[in-house]
Amino acid sequence: MSHIAEARTERVTIPTLQRWKEERRRVAMTTAYDAVTARIADPIVDIVLVGDSVGNVCLGFDNTLPVSMAMMNHHLEAVARTRPHALLVADMPFLSFHLSADETLRNAGGFLQRGADAVKLEGGAKRAEMVRALVDCEIPVMGHLGLTPQSINVMGGFKVQGRNADDALRLLDDAHRLQEAGCFALVLEGIPAELAARATESLTIPTIGIGAGPSCSGQVLVFHDVLGLTVGHRPKFVRAYADGFQLLQEALSRWAADVRSGVFPGPRESYRLPEGLGETIASWAPT
């Protein structure tokens, strides 16, 4: 039996997500970085994120810090061309929302002009003013708290956050400050499950967890992690539903072997001349 969902006919919007929070309906979100990943993900998930994780997942960087607005725009445009029905969120990369309100609005507004429905940005209460400025300009914002990969240098690596009383209480306070500033949802990454549960029950907006336990309003995982396409270290919170890397390599090896043995291409993959033209080209000689 196939588990593949029927293609969506209705678009997921921000009011849809708010309604689902009230109905306690859980949300599935994944990343997409190009038209192929977007077409695979869109009929299945509720939110598609063009994440700045494109830097480490697709572009070969060690982390997300080198990702620029130009890179994000390039990948967002590819995803947006597929006209997804899922809510399309674009990630504000490092330094794209720190320098001034003008630059932040231009960068985020540019994402919406390229087809995003909303933007996501990392950080707590100190980002509240910028969130307010964006929301005032009709740009919906998803917040992102906890293990925020753009703060890797401050955190001293990819470490679970909110494990002592001060940090845990600060996170809860940050979550409420972002909600008051107008965020329509929050990603909670790399925090203890109990802390994510407390944030989720105390907020009116949905929370989307990644390494934040089962009590969030929804879950997000990087597309390549769910499908087993990432090589190297796999964080504890990832569950791969396929060994995509091996599956694809096996298929590619069969094709390469067929090329080398002459089995590919066969008659089905070849074009033929119209009747009679074979003799014409056979009798041709170079002059």
Tell me the catalytic residues.
189
52 binds ligand KIV (CB under 6 A): yes
CA distances from residue 42 to 14, 80, 92, 120, 241 in whole angstroms, order as listed: 16, 11, 21, 18, 17
Q: Does 31 bind ligand KIV (CB under 6 A)?
A: yes
| CB nearer to ligand KIV: pick between 10 and 62 | 62
User: Residue 27: is it exposed, middle or buried by C-beta count within 10 angstroms (0-12/13-18/19+)?
Assistant: buried
Establish if 220 lies at the interface with ligand KIV (CB under 6 A). Answer: yes
Is residue 51 near ligand KIV by the rule CB under 6 A? yes
Q: How far is the CB of 188 from ligand KIV (least distance, A)?
A: 9
Do the strands 27-31 and 47-50 form a parallel or antiparallel pair, or are they unpaired?
A: parallel
Structure tokens given for 134: 């964006």
Considering only 48-56, 72-80, 98-106, 273-281, which stretch makes contact with ligand KIV by CB under 6 A? 48-56
CB of 125 to ligand KIV, least distance (A): 19
Cβ(127)–Cβ(143) below 8 Å: yes
3-state secondary structure of 29: strand
Give the interface size with ligand KIV as a residue count (CB under 6 A). Answer: 10
Should residue 161 be labelled a site residue for ligand KIV when binding is judged by CB under 6 A? Answer: no
- Both structure tokens of 285: 């000689």
Q: How far is the CB of 271 from ligand KIV (least distance, A)?
A: 43
Q: Residue 173: how many CA atoms within 13 Å on its side-chain side?
A: 8
Closer to ligand KIV by Cβ: residue 224 or 286: 224
Binding to ligand KIV (CB under 6 A) within 222-261 occurs at 222
Whether the CB-CB separation of 130 and 90 falls below 8 Å is answered with no
Q: Distance (Å, rounded) from C-alpha 199 to C-alpha 203?
A: 6
Query: Do 21 and 206 touch, CB atoms closer than 8 A?
Result: yes
Give the separation between CA 89 and CA 179, rounded to whole angstroms.
Answer: 17
Q: Tell me the closest approach of the beta carbon of residue 193 to ligand KIV, in angstroms.
A: 17
The residue (of 91 and 285) whose beta carbon lies closer to ligand KIV is 91
Nearer to ligand KIV among residue 46 and residue 91 (C-beta): 91
Which amino acid is located at 139 in the chain?
I
Q: Which region among 14-22, 46-54, 82-90, 252-260 touches ligand KIV (by CB under 6 A)?
A: 46-54
Which residue, judged by CB position, is nearest to ligand KIV in the bound state? 51
CA distances from 255 to 5, 95, 258 (A): 30, 44, 5
Q: In whole angstroms, what is the distance from residue 192 CA to residue 180 CA?
A: 23
Nearer to ligand KIV, 210 or 227 (CB): 210
Does position 143 interact with ligand KIV (CB under 6 A)? The reply is no
Q: How far is the CB of 59 from ligand KIV (least distance, A)?
A: 12
Pattern of binders to ligand KIV over 71-100, x per CB under 6 A?
Answer: --------------------x---------
Pairing of strands 27-31, 141-146: unpaired
Interface contacts to ligand KIV, rule CB under 6 A: 31, 49, 51-53, 91, 187, 210, 220, 222
